[in-house]
């Protein structure tokens, strides 16, 4: 994972979508939002093991960013 969700702003973030609207989300769990330490997170093989909350976040993200058929 290269970009993690922010740990500040109450653990929430906003997506700007191509359709011209935005979607906000308060991220569930702590796996996807590591604490702010002031040090850069390492790049490369640092993908966290997903937990149930992370999977819920990914399902939501998939729902708002994919085409419904």
The tally of CA atoms less than 13 A away on the side-chain side of residue 50 is: 9
- Tokens representing 68 are 């419904």
Nearest to 24 by CA among 34, 13, 16, 35: 13
- Tokens representing 18 are 């191509």
- Tokens representing 66 are 């994919």
7-55 pLDDT, tens digit each: 667 788 888 888 888 888 888 887 777 777 788 766 666 666 778 988 8
Sorted by where each begins, the domain ranges of the chain are: 9-65
The tally of CA atoms less than 13 A away on the side-chain side of residue 56 is: 10
Q: What is the pLDDT of residue 6?
A: 62
pTM, to two decimals: 0.63
């Amino acid at each position: 994972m290269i970009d993690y969700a922010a740990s500040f702003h109450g653990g929430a973030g906003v997506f700007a979508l191509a359709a011209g609207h935005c979607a906000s989300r308060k991220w569930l769990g702590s796996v996807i939002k590591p604490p702010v330490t002031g040090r850069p997170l390492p790049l490369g093989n640092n993908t966290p093991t997903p937990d149930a909350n992370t999977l819920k976040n990914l399902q939501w993200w998939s729902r708002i960013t994919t085409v419904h058929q």
